């Protein structure tokens, strides 16, 4: 449910995000020109939102395009992730082992030892003296460091995927929509093999189908690029929150805390969180 609502939200955000990408790319190229990065001797490459940009060096276009997409699409994607977590979260946030990063609930829940609750995966007791001393006991920071490292991985991958698709695949997707339109009976103007592009697009006529395919030709690649970039970011998120979520860089480290309320589980001698009442027990123990 959360995933479905987040997907719809992402689709709705693609259009404004696309303009943000164009705007940021334009300002980035303008700045690069001011700083003397762009090669002004080798001619113009085209126009973005009324600004004539220089064609070379190519790496500047890659870097600026990647940063612009990382920022605009990355923020959209991150918002959708937050929404997905909030809506699907009748279980709330996960209870993560502060030593190994395992999602304790996914491993069935905690077991009890003489030193209090114990991680089902690494078998470290949360009240273990070494464990308690190795971590700072106190309030959870507003944004834990692992959230920032995961966010960074996600927005870098969406930026890189988007700039790659934007620069390499846009023409192919346009041609695909052209062929689809022709295959379904709409007509384009061909002049000795070349396709003429009118003010509304390559398809002519007043039919709904023609204007539909012109819209797809004009805006379809934007959507397809953004959707594929979003899928790349989702794959990255699966990686950093899944297998890599147990590494020190991408995983939570600190006192093991209740996923429902953030209460530290060190030296807790009950399966029930004293703060919010969440059941922390391994199912087989009940
Ligand atoms: Zn553990
Ligand atoms: Zn709690």
Which pLDDT belongs to residue 90?
A: 43
Distance 13 CA to ligand 1 centre (A): 38
Distance 272 CA to ligand 2 centre (A): 8
Which pLDDT belongs to residue 128?
A: 62
Sign of the CA dihedral running 229, 230, 235, 241: positive
Distance 261 CA to ligand 2 centre (A): 4
Which pLDDT belongs to residue 141?
A: 56
Domain definitions of the chain by residue range: 2-88+146-244
Which pLDDT belongs to residue 33?
A: 95
User: Using one digit for the tens of pLDDT, what is the confidence trace for 190-214?
Assistant: 888 788 888 888 898 888 999 999 9
Distance 45 CA to ligand 2 centre (A): 58
Question: What contacts 132, CB < 8 A, 6 or more positions away?
Answer: 255, 266, 267
Which pLDDT belongs to residue 196?
A: 83
Dihedral pair phi/psi, residue 227, rounded to 5°: -65, -45
Distance 123 CA to ligand 1 centre (A): 6
Neighbours of ion ligand 1 (CB under 5 A): 97, 99-100, 102, 119, 121-122
Dihedral pair phi/psi, residue 110, rounded to 5°: -85, 155
Q: Three-state SS for 125? A: strand
Which pLDDT belongs to residue 226?
A: 95
Question: Which ligand does the CA of 104 lie closest to?
Answer: 1
User: Using one digit for the tens of pLDDT, what is the confidence trace for 129-174?
Assistant: 555 444 444 555 567 788 889 999 999 999 999 999 999 999 999 9
Stretches where the chain sits below pLDDT 50 are 90-91, 132-137, 286
Check if the beta carbon of residue 68 is closer than 8 Å to that of residue 21: yes
Q: How many CA atoms lie within 13 A of 231 on its CB side?
A: 6
Which pLDDT belongs to residue 18?
A: 92
Distance 255 CA to ligand 2 centre (A): 14
Which pLDDT belongs to residue 80?
A: 92
Alpha helices in the chain (DSSP H): 2-34, 58-87, 129-134, 145-168, 170-183, 208-241
Distance 98 CA to ligand 1 centre (A): 7
């Amino acid at each position: 449910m959360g995933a479905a609502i987040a997907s719809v939200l992402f689709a709705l955000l693609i259009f404004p995000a696309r303009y943000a990408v164009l705007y940021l790319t334009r300002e980035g190229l303008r700045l690069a020109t001011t700083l003397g990065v762009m090669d002004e001797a080798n001619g113009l490459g085209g126009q973005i939102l009324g600004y004539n940009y220089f064609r070379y060096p190519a790496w500047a276009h890659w870097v600026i395009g990647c940063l612009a997409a990382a920022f605009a699409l990355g923020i959209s994607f991150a918002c959708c992730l937050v929404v997905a977590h909030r809506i699907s979260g009748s279980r709330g946030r996960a209870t993560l082992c502060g030593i190994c990063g395992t999602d304790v609930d996914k491993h069935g829940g905690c077991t009890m030892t003489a030193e209090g609750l114990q991680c089902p995966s690494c078998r470290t007791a949360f009240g273990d003296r070494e464990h308690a001393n190795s971590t700072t006991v106190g309030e959870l920071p507003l944004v834990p460091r692992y959230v920032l490292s995961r966010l960074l991985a996600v927005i870098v991958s969406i930026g890189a995927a988007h700039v790659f698709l934007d620069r390499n695949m846009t023409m192919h997707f346009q041609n695909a929509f052209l062929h689809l339109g022709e295959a379904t009976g709409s007509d384009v103007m061909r002049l000795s093999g070349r396709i003429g592009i009118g003010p509304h697009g390559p398809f002519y006529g007043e039919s709904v189908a023609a204007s539909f395919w012109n819209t797809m030709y004009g805006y379809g690649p934007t959507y397809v690029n953004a959707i594929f970039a979003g899928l790349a970011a989702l794959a990255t998120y699966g990686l950093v929150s899944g297998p890599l979520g147990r590494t020190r860089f991408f995983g939570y480290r600190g006192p093991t805390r209740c996923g429902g309320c953030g209460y530290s589980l060190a030296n807790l001698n009950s399966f029930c969180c004293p703060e919010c009442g969440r059941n922390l027990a391994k199912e087989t123990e009940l």
